Amino acid sequence: MQLSRRNFLKVGGSSAAWLAAVGCDRLPRELRALYESPKRSGSFQPPTTQDIDPVTHVLNRTAFGPRPGEYTRVRKLGTTPMEAAAAYVEQQLNPQQLDDAEAEYAVRRFETLTEPLGELFEYQEELLQNELMRGALTRAIWSERQLYEVMVQFWSDHFNIDPSKGDCKWLKVADDREVIRKHALGSFPEMLRASALSPAMLWYLDGRVNRRGNMAEKPNENYARELLELHSLGVHGGYTQTDVMEVARCLTGWTVRSKAQEPYFQIGKVEFKLSQHDCGGKQVLGENFPAIPANLDKARREQLGQAELDRVLEIVTNHPATARHLSTKLCQRFIADEPPARAAESVASAFTQSGGDIPTTLRALFATSEFREARGNKIKRPFNYIVSALRATGASTDAGMELIGYLQRMGHAPFNYPTPDGFPEPAAPWLGTLLWRWNFALALSENRINGTRLDFAALLSNAGGDAGLMAHLLGRKPSPDEAQAYYDSGAGLALILSAPAFQRC
Amino acid sequence: MAEVQSILTGNGDQRQTLVVVFLRGGADGLNLVAPLDDDGYYRARPRIAIGRKQAVRLDGFYGLNPLLQALEPAYHDGALAIIHAAGSEDNTRSHFEAQDLMEHGGVTGGGWLGRFLQARNQAGSGPLAAVALGKSIPECLRGSPAATVLQSLDDFSLGDNRPRLTQSLAKLYGAQTDGLAGAGRDTLDALRRVEQLRNTPYLAANGAHYGGDDFSRGLRQVARLIKGRVGLQAASVDLGGWDSHFSQSLIMDPLISRLAKGLAAFYQDLGDEMHRTTVVVMTEFGRRVEENSAFGTDHGRGSVMFVMGGGIEGGRVLGKWPGLSREVLEGPGDLPVTTNYRNVLAPILQRHGAGGKLSQVFPEFNIAPLPLYG
């Protein structure tokens, strides 16, 4: 049974009283997901090492941080911490094999996320935007498929679309589902193609107005430029301004029906218009595209015109600069803000050899000694910080707008980045957000965020007391300074969540 | 001292502050700064025009609405420039569309001020780099790194003031030397400064007198933050309600007075600090040239912009006056836009450290900067 909001509201009017009357165990599973915190842990053994061990490292870096008890669970996957970490990462690289029912139930309340493209236009923009944000937050907190959600975030930045532009307000929901989430741990070439023909992307980077109905008309280069600069080869990838113009010419004629166009039910439909395609000969990155002969029949000409998109994507996907660009970005995400060149090279060759298979590429990354050794050297971005704090404390949350308000304050509410380069990954631009992190930590620990609740007494006792709680949050034993500050601060939980060490991952 | 403070705030040379005032609702540029020597103006507005005798003469051609008289000193000091027939290319005459375009800086994602701060602050910025006075972040700041909404300085604090927590944080962040620790110390320092500001009754300098309305209060907070050296790079303050379809003077006069009083007090209060500050006043569109039957004006196109601040060659009304004859008026009878607002903002952003990033701030626009700085 899928529980829609309408049905929920029918039973929901006095749901709190009803809950009290029937007790949680009698609730349908769908409703339980709304009211309960994920996975009550019971007592657990926090880390006992002086430094972050490989298990904590992978939970910090390839996931959004450990939940209570998760360290122990993952540690048991191998005889040594190193083996256990490797086994965990391998599980995470196969997300379909991880049961994720809880997270899926939790996001069911966000109905718009599953609405088909055409139906999205029925909704208020604000609702769509809010449900996108709340869905992303809910999944990051609750999903068992943590690496998958991390990669969803990575690709959302890589193929960034700001929904505030034009019809993207509606279309981004479909892009999130059909481009980003569909391919996040799949095949890069398939994701690139899905993105190139995504209605939201055609809007956001003006592909829809890239046309050449006659030779006087100048193609719109916006998408072509970002395709080369951001999505594939990278800014120093060896392409020229001429290549940008030629790519734009190859992609002329692809467009998307806008909200202003009739008939209504075709809004968001992607179309290829031969009459607006530049049929002349072209050259992209040294490869020739013959002119489309005028004497062929229309269907054949259309086929040839459309095929130019596929050929462009094939050329850029196979270009060595694309492997380098993507592997460098992945290493920046998973290893260090200044990615080590040697690791990037081995990741690039895995990308090339696997034809852009994302799990294979990541497997190579996680196997590098640079990845294993670079522990605690990255700073969490605000989204990751907030999610990691919620996971670490086992808080229950509705991922509501008050929580999202903290992300907005820090400039990191998902789907709110204006330019196509996506939220920056390195730490520097985020260093101005500490006060809001501290205020969040304080409000969370004092249960002052509407819709979000933690049970401090249970957390403390499950972790085996103050020392255990600190070790659980820090992923290692606290330093004498940290322990001292924990007691001196009068707000120990908030202090540790605000400490430099908890900003790191 | 200034040197020490810039080190403390981690702001270095970034101590310039840009204040954006948005007059929401479409402010009537023709009655804010009247073209006194254009007879077309009086023909079109027999009942609501600003009379030649009432107006505050600026030059041979333009005069200020008498309610803006308080701006005269800044104008004559050369610290205030006016740009007439300014606006955007949007011709929908819809408040929403026009504000959106102007704040986004084109049909593009995010706001121009947000993109400017992003481009400028790749190296990081303090917790009070961007502040919106009011209840929400305006669209122009969308995409800014850590923009803060403040209604008052009370909003910038750690909980309800936690000295023990603050001390413990100072100990942990003070024990390390990397960028994160530095940012922590900057933040604690900003907290201390703001708390000092809060605890010291604020007296405006140089005999400046702010009004009691939200606009004056907002500018007063901005002045306080600028003088408090908290690393403020951009602030936005709105003054709304300019949609004067009926009984224009009843609607506009109080707003004009508030605008004048706030800006004049801010100018006086900042004194020398004005050298590192720029205030830009803009609106989404002007009003129809011809008055309507209800003593009001309908949505039009070109309006005025005001730029007040350090380094400008003010005391001038810039922009090409297109005239008001029937042939030059646009659409239903509107003042054409002869200066795109981006060309006013561009030289200002350049002064505030945009470097070579202007094309990122205003994509797909051929910038022809207005010679604001001579």
CATH number of the domain encompassing residue B66? 3.40.720
Contact status of A485 with chain B (Cβ, < 8 Å): yes
Residue with tokens 């009001």: B296
Contact status of A463 with chain B (Cβ, < 8 Å): no
Our CA-based measurement puts residue B262 at a distance from the nearest CA of chain A, in whole angstroms, of 27
When pLDDT is averaged across residues B346-364 and rounded to a whole number, the result is 91
Computed over every residue of chain B, the mean pLDDT equals 90
User: Taking a C-beta distance cutoff of 8 angstroms, is the pair A38, A142 a contact?
Assistant: yes
Our CA-based measurement puts residue B356 at a distance from the nearest CA of chain A, in whole angstroms, of 16
A260-264, B248-252, B360-364: which has the minimum mean pLDDT?
Answer: A260-264
When pLDDT is averaged across residues A63-81 and rounded to a whole number, the result is 97
Residue type, B290: E
Residue with tokens 């749901």: A15
From the list B299, B296, B297, B266, the residue with the least C-alpha distance to B281 is B266
Q: What gap in Å lies between CA A117 and CA A127, rounded to an integer? A: 15
Residue type, B32: L
Residue A451 scores a pLDDT above 90: yes
Q: How many other CB atoms are there within 10 angstroms of residue B46's CB atom? A: 9
Contact status of B191 with chain A (Cβ, < 8 Å): yes
pLDDT digits (tens, 9 = 90+) for A279-309: 999 999 999 999 999 999 999 999 999 999 9
Higher pLDDT, A23 or B308: B308
Domain spans of chain A?
Answer: 101-202, 205-318, 320-373, 379-505
In a domain, B121, yes or no: yes
Evaluate whether ipTM surpasses 0.90. no
Q: What gap in Å lies between CA A466 and CA A310, rounded to an integer? A: 59
Q: Provide the whole-model pTM.
A: 0.80
Residue type, A447: N
Nearest to B127 among A420, A432, A442 (CB): A432
User: Taking a C-beta distance cutoff of 8 angstroms, is the pair A67, A41 a contact?
Assistant: yes
Higher pLDDT, A351 or B111: A351
User: Taking a C-beta distance cutoff of 8 angstroms, is the pair A470, A483 a contact?
Assistant: yes
In a domain, B162, yes or no: no
Check B169 against A495: CB less than 8 A apart: yes
Q: Which residues of A touch B106 (CB under 8 A)?
A: none
pLDDT classification of A428: cutoffs 50, 70, 90: confident
From the list A321, A339, A243, A258, the residue with the least C-alpha distance to A289 is A243
In a domain, B292, yes or no: yes
Burial class (CB in 10 A: 0-12, 13-18, 19+), A286: exposed
Q: What gap in Å lies between CA B106 and CA A35, rounded to an integer? A: 44
Higher pLDDT, A6 or A89: A89
Nearest to A435 among B115, B180, B191 (CB): B191
Check B180 against A379: CB less than 8 A apart: yes
Check B168 against A418: CB less than 8 A apart: no
Contact status of A480 with chain B (Cβ, < 8 Å): no
Look up the domain containing B14 and give its range: 8-152+204-361
Helices (H), A396-465: 401-409, 434-445, 456-462
Check B172 against A418: CB less than 8 A apart: no
Residue type, B347: P
User: Taking a C-beta distance cutoff of 8 angstroms, is the pair A501, A375 a contact?
Assistant: no
Residues 218-277 of B with CB under 8 A from A: none
Contact status of A439 with chain B (Cβ, < 8 Å): yes
Residue with tokens 């939201």: A200
pLDDT at position B14 is: 52
Helices (H), chain B: 2-9, 29-32, 39-44, 72-76, 95-104, 112-120, 163-174, 179-199, 214-227, 248-270, 341-351, 358-361
- State CA B34 to chain mean position distance: 21
Our CA-based measurement puts residue B69 at a distance from the nearest CA of chain A, in whole angstroms, of 38
Sort strands B56-57 and B62-64 into parallel, antiparallel or unpaired: antiparallel
pLDDT digits (tens, 9 = 90+) for B187-221: 898 888 888 888 888 999 999 999 999 999 999 99
User: Taking a C-beta distance cutoff of 8 angstroms, is the pair A56, A71 a contact?
Assistant: yes
Q: Which residues have a Cβ under 8 Å from the Cβ of A487 and sit 6 or more positions away? A: A466
Check B124 against A429: CB less than 8 A apart: yes
CA angle A372, A377, A382 (to 5 degrees): 120
pLDDT digits (tens, 9 = 90+) for A149-184: 999 999 999 999 999 888 999 999 999 999 999 999
Q: What gap in Å lies between CA A277 and CA B73, rounded to an integer? A: 59
Q: What are phi and psi of A243, to 5 degrees?
A: -60, -40
Higher pLDDT, B197 or B23: B23
pLDDT classification of B124: cutoffs 50, 70, 90: low
Nearest to A438 among B167, B169, B364 (CB): B169
Q: How many other CB atoms are there within 10 angstroms of residue B336's CB atom? A: 17
Tokens found for residue A368: 């590098």
pLDDT classification of A3: cutoffs 50, 70, 90: very low
According to the per-residue pLDDT averaged within each range, which of B119-133, B140-154, B223-237, B331-345 is highest? B331-345
Residue A64 DSSP class = S
Q: What gap in Å lies between CA B216 and CA B222, rounded to an integer? A: 10
In a domain, B146, yes or no: yes
Check B146 against A409: CB less than 8 A apart: yes
Residue A124 scores a pLDDT above 90: yes
**Which residues face B34 on adjacent strands?**
B63
Q: What are phi and psi of B230, to 5 degrees?
A: -100, 5
Residues 105-134 of B with CB under 8 A from A: 107-111, 114-115, 118, 121-127, 129
pLDDT classification of B309: cutoffs 50, 70, 90: very high
pLDDT at position B2 is: 35
pLDDT classification of A339: cutoffs 50, 70, 90: very high
Our CA-based measurement puts residue B358 at a distance from the nearest CA of chain A, in whole angstroms, of 14
Percent of chain A with pLDDT over 70: 92
In a domain, B187, yes or no: no
Residue A358 DSSP class = H
Residue with tokens 């413990």: B168
Check A417 against B167: CB less than 8 A apart: no
Q: What gap in Å lies between CA B107 and CA A168, rounded to an integer? A: 12
Our CA-based measurement puts residue A363 at a distance from the nearest CA of chain B, in whole angstroms, of 30
In a domain, B266, yes or no: yes
Helix H or strand E encompassing A396: strand A396-397
Residue B50 DSSP class = P
Residue A246 scores a pLDDT above 70: yes
Task: Look at phi and psi of residue A333 and say left if phi exceeds 0, alpha if psi is from -120 to 50, else beta.
Answer: alpha
Residue A440 scores a pLDDT above 80: yes
Q: What gap in Å lies between CA A384 and CA A436, rounded to an integer? A: 14
Residue A397 scores a pLDDT above 90: yes
Q: What gap in Å lies between CA A361 and CA A423, rounded to an integer? A: 22
From the list B32, B24, B94, B31, the residue with the least C-alpha distance to B239 is B24
User: Taking a C-beta distance cutoff of 8 angstroms, is the pair A453, B149 a contact?
Assistant: no
From the list A464, A470, A468, A505, the residue with the least C-alpha distance to A486 is A470
**Which residues face B316 on adjacent strands?**
B81
From the list A219, A215, A211, A220, the residue with the least C-alpha distance to A276 is A211
Nearest to A411 among B145, B184, B364 (CB): B145
Domain count, chain B: 1
Q: What gap in Å lies between CA A80 and CA A45, rounded to an integer? A: 16
Contact status of A435 with chain B (Cβ, < 8 Å): yes
Higher pLDDT, B136 or B55: B55
Sort strands B234-240 and B17-24 into parallel, antiparallel or unpaired: parallel
Residue B274 scores a pLDDT above 90: yes
Helix H or strand E encompassing B18: strand B17-24
What is chain A's Cα-based Rg?
A: 25
Q: Which residues have a Cβ under 8 Å from the Cβ of A384 and sit 6 or more positions away? A: A64, A65, A505
